[in-house]
């Protein structure tokens, strides 16, 4: 008789967690999906055997509440929220609704997110592909500190401990805590610091020296032109090739070509690579 392969923990619905989510549970099919794959860079991850999914909230104060507490004027103005499908009004409205749902009924929102991630894990296992989740595609929320529900002390990132999560952040203290290995950051969560026009070069170099990575938007490098190799004495990784930031060599800039509104940036958010 054929013996059944044991199912790894978290590679199917975790009944214990689902039981505790019951009171917040509504069928995922009743709603638009929380997770999306429409970000061009996440699609590029497929070439490397990864399916990456994330959440497009309405960034900064667009929903009525600020979900990017460390945003600068420059990044808020150049935010990729309006790139790709974000140009459509219907998409913007859906992102605002999603953000408001998250703010007003968090338990229910996280219950749905839990179910969507579980479904993705099951499908990925069948398809033999790896998964990575970027919950802050257009936000800067401290997901590692948001408990899955009132009965749990763990975040959704802690709960899916075998799955890779990653984000960019502009939060200095948040990033410093991450770099110092603070307990609040689970091992399956990777963060890249994101430079703003207000960032001091010495501070950014300090991050690189400690083995952190810093994303920087460069002006004037065209889509088909190669990324510069070094900047201010540190190596540059072409961040447009894919969005798998957790694979990056430590102590590197993550060079991004200015896109959309950032091409016309005058705040200093996007820098001249020769500066």
Interface positions with ligand SF4 (CB under 6 A) = 59-60, 68, 71, 75-76, 79, 138-140, 170
**Smallest distance, ligand SF4 to C-beta of residue 145, A:** 17
Judged by beta carbon, residue 108 or residue 245, the one nearer ligand SF4 is 245
Minimum separation from the CB atom of position 70 to ligand SF4 (A): 7
116/167 with CB nearer ligand SF4 = 167
d(CA 253, CA 227): 11
Neighbouring-strand partners of residue 55: 35
Residue 149 or 169: which CB sits closer to ligand SF4?
Answer: 169
Least Å from the CB of residue 15 to ligand SF4:
35
- C-alpha 195/C-alpha 210 separation (Å) is 16
CB of 3 to ligand SF4, least distance (A): 48
Given the complex with ligand SF4, which of 62 and 227 has the nearer CB atom?
62
Smallest distance from the beta carbon of 203 to ligand SF4, in angstroms?
17
Q: Which is nearer to ligand SF4, 76 or 216 (CB)?
A: 76
Q: How far apart are CA 196 and CA 259, in angstroms?
A: 15
The H or E element containing residue 115 is helix 106-127
Is residue 245 within 8 Å of 165, Cβ to Cβ?
no
CA distances from 65 to 34, 101, 107, 112 (A): 19, 12, 18, 21
């Amino acid at each position: 008789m054929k013996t059944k392969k044991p199912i790894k923990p978290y590679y199917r619905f975790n009944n214990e967690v689902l039981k505790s989510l019951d009171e917040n549970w509504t069928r995922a099919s009743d709603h638009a999906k929380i997770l999306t794959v429409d970000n061009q860079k996440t699609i590029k991850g497929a070439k490397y055997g990864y399916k990456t999914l994330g959440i497009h909230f309405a960034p900064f104060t667009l929903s009525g509440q600020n979900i990017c507490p460390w945003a600068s004027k420059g990044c808020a103005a150049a935010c990729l929220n309006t790139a790709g499908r974000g140009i459509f009004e219907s998409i913007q409205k859906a992102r605002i609704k999603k953000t408001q749902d998250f703010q007003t009924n968090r338990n229910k929102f996280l219950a749905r997110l839990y179910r969507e991630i579980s479904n993705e894990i099951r499908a990925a296992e069948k398809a033999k592909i790896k998964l990575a989740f970027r919950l802050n595609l257009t936000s800067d929320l401290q997901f590692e500190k948001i408990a899955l529900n009132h009965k749990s002390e763990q975040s959704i990132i802690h709960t899916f401990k075998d799955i890779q999560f990653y984000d960019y952040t502009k939060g200095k203290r948040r990033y410093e805590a991450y770099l110092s290995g603070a307990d609040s950051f689970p091992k399956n969560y990777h963060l890249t610091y994101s430079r703003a026009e207000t960032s001091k070069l010495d501070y950014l170099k300090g991050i690189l020296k400690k083995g952190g990575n810093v994303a920087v938007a460069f002006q004037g490098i065209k889509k088909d032109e190669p990324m510069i190799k070094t900047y201010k004495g540190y190596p540059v990784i072409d961040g447009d090739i894919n969005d798998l930031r957790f694979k990056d060599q430590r102590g590197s800039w993550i060079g991004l070509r200015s896109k959309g509104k950032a091409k016309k940036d005058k705040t200093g958010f996007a820098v001249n690579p020769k500066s």
